[in-house]
Chains A and B, each alone.
Chain A
Amino acid sequence: MVSREDVLHIARLARLSLSEEEVERYQKHLGRVLEYVGELRALPQESDALVRHVPRDAVAFRGDSILPFSNTRGSLDNAPALESDGFLLPTVVEHE
């Protein structure tokens, strides 16, 4: 069972504003899905559970060389608000 509080807590963590109707719908749908996936709990504990989805011959590394991106302008032009090429936001108070 997923409570209304659960839905609101998760929505806040995920930064999703929800309408009242959505809260109700997600409470129902999330409950359904979580109930369904509960079937996994019955399966025995697996010791070697490390999934390696990456091919064995993949190359993890790149060399430490500088290669500037050719279209920084293109990236900046997608910004919803830009001020002197900085991404502009309402004043941020807290700090990470």
Chain B
Amino acid sequence: MTTFRKAGVQDLLEGYQRKEFKPSEVVSGTMAAITQLNPELNALLETRSEEVSARAKDLDARMGEASKLPLFGVPIAIKDNILVRGWKTTAGSKALQNYVSPYTGTCVERMEAAGAIVIGKANCDEFAMGSSNENSAYGPVKNPWDSTRVTGGSSGGSAAAVAAGLVPGALGTDTGGSIRQPASLCGVVGLKPTYGRVSRYGVIAFASSLDQVGPFGRSVWDTARLLEVISGYDAKDATSSRGVVPRYTEALALPSADSLRNINIGIAPEWMEGLDPEVKKSFDAAIETAKGLGAKIVEVKLPHAKYALSVYYLIAASEASSNLARYDGVHYGTRSKKWDSLEELYSRSRGETLGREVKLRIMLGTYALSAGYYDAFYGKANQVRRLIQRDFDEAFSKCHCVAAPTSPTTAFRLGEKMEDPLTMYLSDIFTLPVNLAGLPGLSVPSGVDSKKLPIGLQLIGRLFDESSLLQVAHAYEKARGPLSHPPWKGDR
């Protein structure tokens, strides 16, 4: 039996159209791969084989729709902070250990309407707070390239599931780099759309002004297909854009998509000072490849990007302190058994179930918003956020997209950065400014380092110009050639 592990979204769609296999065969293979590999990877939390098989059988009977439905029979993993009715949604937290989603998030609804099969909920850092997936209450996810190393986070389960071939595509969320950084560390493509491109309805909020849902795939085309399905206006999200969603995959199929003539790529050298030499080397090589494809490289300045870490942590923590107030064990979630007063019921339920990093950020955010500190912290952070947005406005007057490394390092060892929060936070310095400015960002593998660990190239685009990012990444991906993929461990 084949596990279809190497088949991407595009491969599956073509296979279905040629009637080479049926959804239930694909799903059986996928489930077998999960059974075999997931215990070690810990990428997926819940898998519901009965529901999944039933859904696959239902699609078997609808093979005629294979050419019409853009994700017909494609198994997808959903980060566990996105609700799917009937499935548990824990957000990687003990606070929601037994929470069964009463409804389905808009992005998943759209995927299901497009024929996708939700195969499992992907492990993640608790409430999407983390850069290594070690903050999950359900244990860390192991990097498929080297199981002693982290996947990055917070969407580590989604990235690892795609990298290891458990699923051809997955959804994650990105608040400060949570799609792009694990994509980079796991050697897959990950895209964080423009704020407002994808509905956040049904996505557990971490920092509402920064959160965005996005896809993972093993190719740019696969990622583009997922994006075009989940994007678009949703009346249930008052921050979602009414803008028309381009057919991203159609643009990639054009012959002109292979060239980067007429494309200006900006690089900001100051921003990249002190970079790991191997990452720098890979980045430079990627830029050379882009030049070879006809791109013009221009220098831009992002003078306030260096403040992004401070700005991000104040804003995200402030919003999180409010967003996470609802996990109190009153209306749902885990309630402490020991309390003598209402206040104690609250503080014990929360104190006992929320993890260390989550509590730290709630404390930070509560502090930043509290009487007497608001202006100095939350207020000031928003001012600087504005300056970062302006830096990008300025940069985009000279280029179509800005290129930078996704992560300053490749995958680090499990436990390596757990003691000092700031060391961990520094993993995100290249991704954070993008969320602060609301821009789309994409990470595409650009090679491996000497330890055979993947490196990611990040492309940052103008508001709602995911098309350019996909086009540049697609052309680059072709020119780059196939990656030496993680050992397809266990595959027959």
Contact = CB atoms under 8 A, between A and B. Distances in A.
Contact of B235 (A59, A78, A94): A59
B345 interface: yes
Interface stretch (B24-32, B34-42, B223-231, B324-332): B324-332
B472 to A, nearest CB: 23
- Chain B interface size band reads 35 or more
Nearest to A61: B238
A16 B241 CA distance: 36
A59 B233 contact: yes
B420 A32 contact: yes
- Assign chain A's interface to a size class: 35 or more
Interface stretch (B43-51, B119-127, B354-362, B404-412): B354-362
B488 interface: no
A55 B346 CA distance: 36
A14 B325 CA distance: 8
Nearest to B331: A87
Interface of A: 2, 6-7, 10-18, 22, 25-26, 29-30, 32-34, 36-37, 39-41, 43, 45-46, 48-51, 53-55, 57-62, 69, 71, 74-75, 77-81, 87, 89-90, 92-94
A6 B367 contact: yes
A92 B101 CA distance: 28
A17 B421 CA distance: 21
A79 B384 contact: no
Contact of A30 (B309, B330, B364): B364
Contacts of A69: 103
B310 A53 contact: no
Given A30-B360, A46-B383, A80-B332, A16 B235 contact: no
B360 A90 contact: no
Interface stretch (B284-292, B333-341, B454-462): B333-341
A37 B421 CA distance: 13
